[in-house]
């Protein structure tokens, strides 16, 4: 995966979604932008999943028994 932050990916995804809603993407770009949106969704999902796992591991390691 390319080097970008979650915020960068999310912002770009929002931009693509807004362009699709506003119908400002021409038909020649539609496939490319849809492919990019799918990639960004996958990137964001993976980032959220890995962050959740890291945070869970931190709390599991510091349980107060």
Helix-helix angle 27-61:6-22, to 10 degrees: 150
The pLDDT of residue 64 is 56
| The two three-digit tokens of residue 64, written as one number | 């107060």
pLDDT digits (tens, 9 = 90+) for 6-56: 999 999 999 999 999 988 888 889 999 999 999 999 999 999 999 999 999
Question: pLDDT at residue 65 above 60?
Answer: no
Query: CA-CA distance, 36 to 31, in Å (whole number)?
Result: 9
Query: 62 pLDDT band (50/70/90 cuts)?
Result: low
pLDDT score for 63: 63
The beta-carbon contacts of 11-15 under 8 Å, at least 24 apart in sequence, are 12/36, 12/40, 13/37, 13/40, 13/41, 13/44
Q: In the predicted model, is pLDDT for residue 61 greater than 80?
A: no
């Amino acid at each position: 995966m390319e080097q970008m932050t979650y915020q960068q990916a999310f912002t770009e995804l929002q931009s693509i979604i807004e362009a699709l809603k506003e119908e400002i993407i021409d038909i020649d770009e539609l496939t490319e932008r849809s492919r990019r949106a799918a990639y960004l969704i996958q990137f964001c999902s993976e980032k959220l999943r890995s962050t959740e796992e890291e945070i869970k591991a931190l709390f599991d390691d510091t349980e107060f028994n």
